[in-house]
A and B are shown apart, each in its own frame.
Chain A
């Protein structure tokens, strides 16, 4: 690996299906993405050390891993935990960056990345929904969202509603807020998520999970009303800054 290359590992397999556009967004931001099948990583026993040495970013793309059966992201989380035993917090501490988008976010939650008191389930309306949302970065430690303003991004999910335990909801919420983990909120309410949470980060800000798809909003012509916007065709999509932030953070981490 040359000193200037920033490699990114993009997972695929078992029904993950946004790996190509996620890799492309990372490439546009300056990474050298590698799409790798989870089975190959497990077979090769890619250790946390190898992950940290080899890759500046680990991306868990969107999709329908294991058909969303049982719970969305659940079986993927089990497979990663049992097959690879990566400690993502350790990876982050060593300078790694993690992004989980949509199904990847669900898997991160089910792996316990954001604590045992956060879960995610079916949208309140009981339906899958593909709609563009406005999502605003909050005051948080997230390196991925640093300096970003309100973004217009597509959301495409049936299970995007963050839930907390009802009994100690207040204390869970204040803990997340205290640690700067609530990093992205919807302007509207597309799915009934607690506190309109669209994304969470870990306390270091290096791990980001979010339901909307920044990788599907890197081009101006992806926006649902670009034909009516001045220079809609030439503009960049709002999602691009997420990946550019990561490239900046990755360079700083060396």
Chain B
């Protein structure tokens, strides 16, 4: 960027430095951010000059520093000193940090540069190699080498994937950086031994502990009993005889890796299949939880869906995503994934691959669906975390910044709107952040008469790997995520996504799908080819794969690495031989690479060859069903004793408390984040994450919505609503309640925006995502899992909401050191529920903002709230901890002492159904009179009211009902409740209908034009009230300057 223009890249970098190291930021007087490229080209000098000028030269905006190649492309020196001369402080003390990717890390910009050179040079282009990086040029007399090294490590680079160099002003002026030898030296180059060896693994004669040691060292994550099962398989006569025909005896490393990937917790969900003995020591036996659980998955997840059995369920739990009917023509597909471990190491790359990975689940469901929305939920430690970090952990602010950018790039560049999400902060997410990425898709139910949800392969169909190439990135991702994170976690597990390669692949495969050019497909995710082909092989009974045909990013990968690499942007497909030519031609025309890796068979084997050499022969039935069942012990010892209460004046304290709650990171506005995601691409948006009045004008104001509504079909008014529920803080009270709360909140979020509910054909489906601290050998955490599953089951059954897809991540623990001291940090048991539902006609969708003065405010629902496990409870606990106290000492406020014990809100499913059936259009018809609807969740009624007022700057006056504690009613949290408004003129009609149908409700007050919140209640001293201006509420909620 020429010095006369502002440099937004440098500005953004300085803001990041300001947030991370404010003191250092003050020492930087001036900064510019410069793109750096390393290039290798065989073309003659003149052609290179011509090409670079065409690609890079922009005389309005840019200078180009190329050493002595094109000196005229900058100012009088043609070098960096021209830029330095523009610094306001001259002669100045200059420094620069230059970063570049480590060898083998995906470099998307370099890929584009190579393509651009190919376009410009055409057939003359020869031997192009490119690498990209950037250089941060700074001026400041107080900058020291130490401070800059800290800056490089903590802000500018992620040393796992990038390396950096520090340069002084002197070196920068010398221009020696452009010498070919220097460029050569700095070029990131993958140097692999090129060793094609297949190792033989001797298992015979080893003790269990030796087997376990071997598994640990090689990152297989196989347990002792699993290693024994593998050994037993190889000792079988049938196995030996078969292997002999291939000239194989001992297991090969390829086979062991394939088994390890297939049996990993990540792929196999062993904990959800485990036999569990559950003991409840509280004496209050929950009748719904048996003492022997055969498989949590079968009994509480798939079993629950089977019991609910709706006609619109098309494909559940057997494909990459859940598939439900949206209408006669189209199916809606949904999947939510986590990408926790990679995001802990490289937040940007982890979240980026998370989002493009779950997109591939949708692209790979049935015959392939088009992604129509993304969701993202992040659970992190607070971004202003001040204590010492354990070694190797990144600061939560860096993680937040990185994962946000990852989702931004992953979603925006793929043209998929990011429409829904949540941010949850808790200090226990410091060790492993939870990064959930979800995608919904739309798929025609039939193509030329072929049903799209059925996956079929015939022997003889070709195995095709489509999209990206295989590299060393992402080796052992599946097994790695099945282990706890520690300071030695491998860097090869980290990958960077390439949204453009994926976009091309996605466009290609949807086009090929519509022409039925392939039989079926699946995504290449965890476990790479070993999983994708290993799983597809079960559809026809075998596969014979030749890995020497796989296109590689660089030579020198070992055979097992090719098989398990999780390099991104790849899909695996089965193509009928007679369609191959057309398939390959279309791929070529779309610029998509295909590797033909052999064919599917019906021999019952997964045969892996490297050229003609057999490197892995496994029976499919052993591979998929040979792992021993896990057995777990679960003991529930009950909820911790509730905190005490202290009488606190509501009149004095409630107002300040409400403002503090609104500023809590869990509640405060996420506008800074939402606006960096494209939430409207595809042109389908109906209810956005924020509603905005007077957009583009000085009076512009936004407020939050509960869920999103999309209109995915141009030809129809039918809509899709999506919402989520997550409430890990209730795990501290009872995981059973936590699960129910998550389900209820997810369902309420879609109901608020206008989803249908209650009729037999009403489409409303749930997706579960469990993120757990390791429950193996921990009876307490296992009990939490059991209780969560049964809580989830009860809620889903009560609401007739089938589960259609899900995922679990069971090793969310970190062990490491803080200043030499060992620490273990485990996440709280966390269940994310995502709800998708149909909106019969999007013209009846709702938003949460109060619309006009004079509208009447109702609370729908039974209005039973509790402070236990509420956001207010968390706030008081945190305050206590800051003062050195312990959570157990916390006391909660109460209006008048002795009113009762501290409680948590409890579900009442019969009430829920009455409320939801009315809102969802199954009963009555005056729900169409609703002008706004908002669920009452974090922060309770006070926060919900404020959020409804903020967007239009209106006021509200409400009366708290007598006989309730004002603290509990105003800030307690609970189930089934909504704040809704109707016009004054229709209020009595609506009341009449609600009363007639037995829907519990309460008229709370009115929307006013006073621009303030007025809360009235009857206290000991008679009628009392507090007021806060809407502007104060909005200011607290927005909390500007808190984030980048």
Known: A39-B589, A224-B688. A20 touches B683 (CB 8 A): yes
Interface status of A165 (Cβ within 8 A of chain B): yes
Collect the chain A residues with CB atoms within 8 Å of residue B932's CB.
227
CB of A32 closer than 8 Å to a CB of B = no
Render A65-81 as a binary contact track against B, CB cut-off 8 A, 1 for contact.
Answer: 01111110011001100
A24 shortest CB reach to chain B, Å:
5
A residues 49-74 in Cβ contact with B at 8 Å: 62-64, 66-71, 74
For the complex with contacts A21-B684, A37-B589, A40-B589, 9 further pairs of A-B residues with Cβ separation under 8 Å are A20-B682, A64-B415, A69-B113, A74-B55, A119-B60, A126-B9, A126-B11, A130-B674, A186-B696
A154 contacts partner chain B, Cβ-Cβ < 8 Å = yes
Interface status of A129 (Cβ within 8 A of chain B): yes
Chain B 838-871: CB-based contact to A (< 8 A → 1; otherwise 0): 0000111111010100000000000000000000
Known A-B contacts A216-B685, A221-B686; the reply to A228 vs B849 at CB < 8 A is: yes
Please list the 5 inter-chain residue pairs (A to B) with the smallest Cβ-Cβ separation, ordered nearest first.
A17-B415, A21-B683, A132-B695, A134-B696, A126-B8
Q: Is B714 engaged at the interface, CB distance under 8 Å to the other chain?
A: yes
Mostly, the A contact residues are mixed
A128 touching B681, Cβ below 8 Å: no
Q: Say whether, besides A20-B682, A82-B120, A134-B697, A63 and B415 are in contact (CB < 8 Å).
A: yes
Please report B residues at the A interface, Cβ cutoff 8 Å: 1-2, 4-6, 8-9, 11-12, 15, 54-56, 58-61, 108-109, 111-113, 115-116, 119-120, 122, 408, 412-415, 499-500, 503-504, 507, 589-591, 674-688, 690-698, 700, 702, 711, 714, 842-847, 849, 851, 932, 951-952
Q: Are B691 and A75 in contact (CB under 8 A)?
A: no
CA distance A63 to B688 in the complex (A): 20
Is A163 among interface residues, defined by CB-CB distance under 8 A?
yes
A14–B691 alpha-carbon span in the complex (Å): 32
11 contacts between A and B (CB under 8 A): A18-B415, A18-B683, A63-B415, A64-B499, A69-B109, A126-B12, A130-B677, A222-B680, A224-B702, A225-B693, A225-B849
The answer to whether B116 touches A78, judged by C-beta atoms less than 8 angstroms apart, is yes
* Inter-subunit contact A82/B119 (CB<8 Å): yes
Closest partner residue, chain A, to B15 (CB atom): A126
Which of chain A's residues have a CB closer than 8 A to the CB of B111? 69
* Nearest-Cβ distance from residue B478 to partner chain A, whole angstroms: 27
Contacting residue for B845 out of A75, A116, A192, A221, CB 8 A: A221
How long is the Cα–Cα vector from A132 to B691 in the complex, in angstroms? 11
A195 nearest CB across to chain B (Å):
15
Cβ–Cβ contact A66 & B115, under 8 A: yes
Name the residue on A nearest B504 (C-beta).
A14
Q: Is the CB of A133 within 8 A of B695?
A: yes
For window 141-197 of A, CB contacts with B under 8 Å fall at: 152, 154, 156, 161, 163-166, 186-188, 190, 192
Instruction: Closest B residue to A22 by CB, please name it.
Output: B683
Q: How far is the CA of A67 from the CA of B678 in the complex (A)?
A: 14
The answer to whether the Cβ of A249 comes within 8 Å of any Cβ in the partner chain is no
List residues of chain A with CB under 8 Å of any chain B CB.
12-15, 17-18, 20-21, 24-25, 37, 39-40, 43, 62-64, 66-71, 74-75, 78-79, 82-83, 116-119, 121-135, 152, 154, 156, 161, 163-166, 186-188, 190, 192, 213, 215-216, 218-219, 221-222, 224-225, 227-228, 233-234
Partner of A18, one of B109, B120, B681: B681
Q: Which residues of A contact B61 (CB under 8 A)?
A: 119, 121, 163
Bound complex: CA A135 to CA B696 (Å): 8
Q: Is the CB of A215 within 8 A of B504?
A: no
**Cβ contact within 8 Å between A70 and B845:** no
* Contact of A154 with B680 at beta-carbon distance under 8 Å, contacts A69-B109, A119-B60 already known: yes
Q: Which residues of A contact B951 (CB under 8 A)?
A: 225
* Cα-based distance from A131 to B847 in the complex (angstroms): 18
- Within 8 Å by CB of A70, from B55, B59, B693, B844, lies B55
Q: Which residues of A contact B845 (CB under 8 A)?
A: 221, 227
Q: Is the CB of A75 within 8 A of B116?
A: yes
Question: Which B residues are CB-close (under 8 A) to A218?
Answer: 683
Query: Min CB distance, A85 to chain B, in Å?
Result: 12
A222 surroundings in chain B (CB, below 8 A): 680, 683, 685-686
Partner pick for B54 among A14, A21, A40, A78, CB 8 A cutoff: A78
Q: Cβ of B8 and Cβ of A68 under 8 Å apart? A: no
Which chain B residues lie closer than 8 Å to A224 at the CB level? 688, 690-693, 695, 702
Minimum C-beta distance from A34 to chain B (A): 14
* Distance from B114 Cβ to chain A, minimum over Cβ atoms (Å): 10
Which residues in B have their C-beta under 8 angstroms from that of A190?
696
Are A67 and B54 interface neighbours, CB within 8 A?
no
In this complex, what residue of A is CB-closest to B107?
A: A69
Inter-chain contacts of A154 with B (CB < 8 A): 680
Evaluate whether A221 and B591 lie within 8 angstroms (CB atoms) in the complex, with A68-B413, A130-B677, A165-B60 already known.
Answer: no
| Cα separation A45 to B119 with both chains bound (whole Å) | 15
Residues of A within 8 A of B687 (CB): 227
Selected from B12, B695, B842, the residue in CB contact (under 8 A) with A152 is B695
Asked if B676 contacts A78 (CB within 8 A), the reply is no
Residue of B507, B678, B682 most packed against chain A (CB within 10 A):
B678
Contacts of A216 in B (CB 8 A): 680-681, 683, 685
Q: Whole-angstrom distance between the alpha carbons of A215 and B696 in the complex? A: 18
Contact A12 B507 (CB under 8 A): yes
Q: A78-B119, A123-B8 are in contact. Are A116 and B112 (CB under 8 A)?
A: no
